[in-house]
Amino acid sequence: MLNVVPGEVTLEQLERIWREEAAVALDQSAMVRIEASAARVAAVAGGDEAIYGINTGFGKLASVRIAPEDTEALQRNLVLSHCAGVGEDAPLKIKRLMMVLKLISLGRGASGIRSETVVLLQAMLDRRVHPIVPVQGSVGASGDLAPLAHMAAVMMGEGEAEFEGEIVSGNVALAKAGLTPVVLSPKEGLALINGTQFSTAYALAGLFQAWHAARTSLISCSLSIDAAMASTVPLIAEIHDLRGQHGQIFAASAMRALLEGSEIREAHREDDTRVQDPYCMRCHPQVVGAAMDMLGYAATTLQREANAATDNPLVLATENRIVSGGNFHAEPVAFAADMVALAMAEIGAIAQRRIALLVDPTLSFDLPAFLAENPGLNSGLMIAEVTSAALMSENKHLANPCSTDSTPTSANQEDHVSMAAHGARRLGRMADNLLRILGIEIFSAAEGIRFRAPLQTSPALSKVASRFFDEIAPLHQDRFLSSDLEAASRLASSSELLAASNLQGLNIQEFLDA
């Protein structure tokens, strides 16, 4: 059970919640703040002062006053009217992370929501009552209104939820889990549906996948360097120290360690000045290092957002006021998602060029054409390289920024929007593409190293190649390749190759702290 302290939740905790579906408990210190802000809302709900979303309508209807006896109906109507999402259901891991992020945000004590409502949300997580949340419908403006409304509807006993493998009504799901629906008090519906938690959950998942891929690319590139008998002079530490870029220095250091003790490397050490290798071999620390630095910046932004109060209006404890602001605008998340997308596209682009080099007999330094044992009769990895090019191109298109798009909504009240939701959602597809590219590179490089026998690669890379060939047989002759490429992608996606290479320990927070 992870104890989460609003304002202090770490990237490591967030990754565990996403990867492991870890159980969470909101730190008890949050309940004091939650109850204080709820009391403030209750005190003003029936008063004469117009306070947005508590005794007024919403958006363009903010000037419409709501009678005290209608405030509960106002919150119910708000949630149900905003359940307008369409498309497929969000992945389970994303929904759980979204729900935890909402708990953390409410735990800041600025949302005016009652403790019993927060307890119900936590109980739904504990008992695995998972709302059905259509993925399309948010423009990242007044938060992720539609997706979060589908979550809030289940808390009221409406909508649909998955419980014990069955999709049922929200009311039935809660009853089967031994839970009771909540009747929302003033401000509570708005507190639940306002905020960036849907977009942030997707962006964090994309970040964690991208960081895994960046580290995996250090392995795949090191394997390719040995397979192509490329120079390791460009990895000399002083070169990177003279530039001073943190990610670049780290990447070069990791690759030097991976290649340490390679017989292939020693066999051509004296020829290191024979030619300048293409950039895809020579400049990987510069490219993946820059990507890692950008992922680090995105990580810092998303950690802040995960700990933020992002609904509206907010109960300000220091001023004892309830005020409208704009923390729901998801521009920080949109920018972070675009950064992650750019990083993944570039890691894949340079990896694909290495695959192309390895299969090209004019560039690969005596490797057989397309890494086939009998080229001509066999086509080897010819079309696997084409597949990697298709994946690379798709990621280039997907990497176009979403944050620069905007369209007015809600009768021009919400006249500038972030598009964070689909900017973050695309990251999962990009990560799948990237890890397939890296799987193909590892396949190609492992085959290339096999052709260097009896010379052996380094001990670290030998373990990687051995683990790879445990899963995927060497390519002695042409065969049906699709299943092999999917297996290579699964290996690249897992922690097994990182563990074999001793690179598995470094999470993104450790990189930022180094």
CA distance 491 to 476: 21
As a whole number of angstroms, the distance between CA 356 and CA 42 comes to 66
Calculate helix-pair angle for 331-359, 197-227, nearest 10 degrees: 20
CA separation for the pair 232, 277 (Å, rounded): 10
Rounded Cα gap, residues 73 and 225, in angstroms = 66
Residues pairing with 323 in the sheet: 314
3-state secondary structure of 6: coil
- 240, 248 Cβ separation under 8 angstroms: yes
Nearest to 90 by CA among 433, 425, 434: 425
In this structure, are residues 13 and 508 in contact, taking their beta carbons and an 8 Å threshold? Answer: no
Catalytic (active site) residue 52: yes
> How far is C-alpha 431 from the chain's CA centre?
9
- Residue 113 to residue 214: CA distance in whole angstroms: 40
Q: At residue 51, what are phi and psi to the nearest 5 degrees?
A: -125, 125
If DSSP codes are grouped into helix, strand and coil, which group holds residue 162?
strand
Query: What are the distances in angstroms from CA 379 to CA 133, 357, 434?
Result: 46, 16, 24
Going by their DSSP bridges, the two strands 2-4 and 86-89 should be labelled as unpaired
Tokens standing for residue 32: 């004091």
Cα–Cα dist 244/236, whole Å? 13
Q: Which sequence positions are flagged as catalytic?
A: 52
